[in-house]
Structure 1
Amino acid sequence: MRIYPVILSGGSGTRLWPLSQSHRPKQFVPVVTDKSMIQETILRVAGQPEFLQPIIVSGQTQGHLVTEALDGIGVEPAAVLLEPAARNTAAAVAIAAHWIARNDPGAMMMVMPSDHVIKDLDSLYVAIRSAAQAALAGRLVTFGIQPTHPETGYGYIERGSPLEDLAAVHQVLSFHEKPSLPLATRYFEGGQHYWNGGMFLFLADAYLAALGEHAPEVAAASAAAMDDALVEGSTVRPGAEAFMAGPDISIDHAVMEKAVNAAVVPVDMGWSDVGSWDALWTIQTRDERDNAVQGDGVVIDGEGNLIYVSDGPPVAAWGLRDCVIVSTADGILTAPRHRSQDVKKIVDFLKRRNAGA
């Protein structure tokens, strides 16, 4: 059983501004621990007997950040694939699958975003070993995150019947886009739906076959880009012209929603995509008044606040409730905690303002 961790690391991370910036996105920043999120993701599977050296898929402008992250934890990659431009996850996974198919035919690939938190690693490992049995049989397996509340910010996976001889793995009945709150509540209470965390396990050849059937334009562009790739040691730069000729589409829309051999492994593993400051508050240790403080900050006579100080001036919050205050060398953010999903609007505003300056 040979599994390559394929770690997708091309995101811009605008939802954790000002900690996450375009020159150093969220996955390259220590957000929860003293290691960056990509380092934590790499170490999550390092040393597990099934796993080989990681394959990192990132953008060309982030190559130095990937090298810095790998060097910081002493991990040698199997490959670092640097996309000339973002073409979403279907293409990112495709170029990694081509690398595996050409260098280690018959190996599996475990696709993982680089910027998620998983607290219960034992449950993750159990789920991976169940998924691997289905993947070896040709299934395209995704991991369904056990929901903890009705969430409107995630897509959902509806499970069907368990597979024969693999009770922990189920057929996928359907994928659902981000629902309204009433529909999310029905999903949560029904017990048949799971959050779509963007994690997958399958044979590289099985993915490429499905891609050729369901998204031939992505298949052709990724194959041509890898044929024309510039290889320097473990660093691979797919051919720009061919790669950019492919469509911008997610793996879910391109393949998983259409594949008849899609399967899901439900797992409860303390997962979070840390997609907002409010999400970070949710997973942080909090005091008796639900305040979470990281760095040089203090809350007096307040409750439900997140104070996050990283290389910025110290923060003292008095009498505040359900607020976020972030202090960094690059900027300071203050916002109601329930509005933290709107931080991207601040980033967009600042880009427009700077462009007009």
Structure 2
Amino acid sequence: MATAFEPYDMGGIKLANRIAMAPMTRSRAHGPGLSPTELNATYYAQRAGAGLIITEGVQPSVTGQGYTFTPGLHSDEQVAGWRTVTDAVHAEGSVIFAQLMHAGRIGHPSILPGDLTPVGPSAVKPAGQIFTHEGLQDLETPRELTEDEILATIADFAAAARNAVEAGFDGVEIHGANGYLVQQFLAANANRRTDRWGGDVAGRIRFAVEVAKATAAAIGPNRVGIRISPANPYNDIVEENTAELYEALLAELAPLGLAYLHVVEGPDAELTRRLREQWPTTFVLNPRTHPEPTGPESLALIEDGSADIVSYGALFLANPDLPARLAAGGPFNTPDMSKAFGGDHSGYTDYPTLAG
């Protein structure tokens, strides 16, 4: 029987354990041109007890930015900034993947330079507000991507993946969850296209599949993971025939030989089980434990074979030594969510460890 604290071979990438740090936006890219700084390197190095670290969402292009002070991987200065992070994490013995996240229609023109505006599969305004430099503002109607722009966006993901490797990352995770661009193409309410990028299930999964293919071709499939969140309504997402949609998506992705599938579990545990059975490589699970954060009890999912790796989000914010605390059964610091987004070291690198 496997346990969470044993080493794991993820398609040739050696992990010290089966505990992953889930991607979490922190909005602290205060270096030149939205690049990471030594503060970010300290934050990730503190959490290098994880077998696998997946970074906060990183925009693959200027137009991919959805939030204030989020980092990119599309410029030389960003690559240089990330190198300080990856060097620090590797020095502590962990593996780190960059999550490539194009926010799509979730953003605001005031966050983007010049006359750029958020884009999406269709010109459908999402409900909700977003925090900008001027405070909370309503989300706006995105500009519908043209065919040429869709192809260019796919190329942006591949280019960002190559930049990630140059920056020292062990791989990348395509963010196909939580209502951002890839899931916007999957969702019938956000994607109302009638061309080959929309319409039926085959059309709506095409963007995700082509992004995965291009990224895998750029850096090798064993360095590419993808995250999905079936039936997650976050960011005004409504999917139709969720089980059919994701089973069709996995049927196209499975032959690519990607490093892993990362599932943010929704209310349908049976669908999670079927996706686990369908997926041929590493299965990373962020289990549904709402309203509580994922805790020690979820390690049993590795022991019973439900997952190869379990990812932890909120607890990793407040517990930089989370794997050690999980092994000890606690205690656990409580995250201060008022300091989760933006700011300085407070609520970022100042949480105590068991030893400290």
TM-score above 0.5: no
TM-score normalised to structure 1 length:
0.26
Bigger RCO (CA 8 Å, 6+ sep):
1
Higher strand share: 1
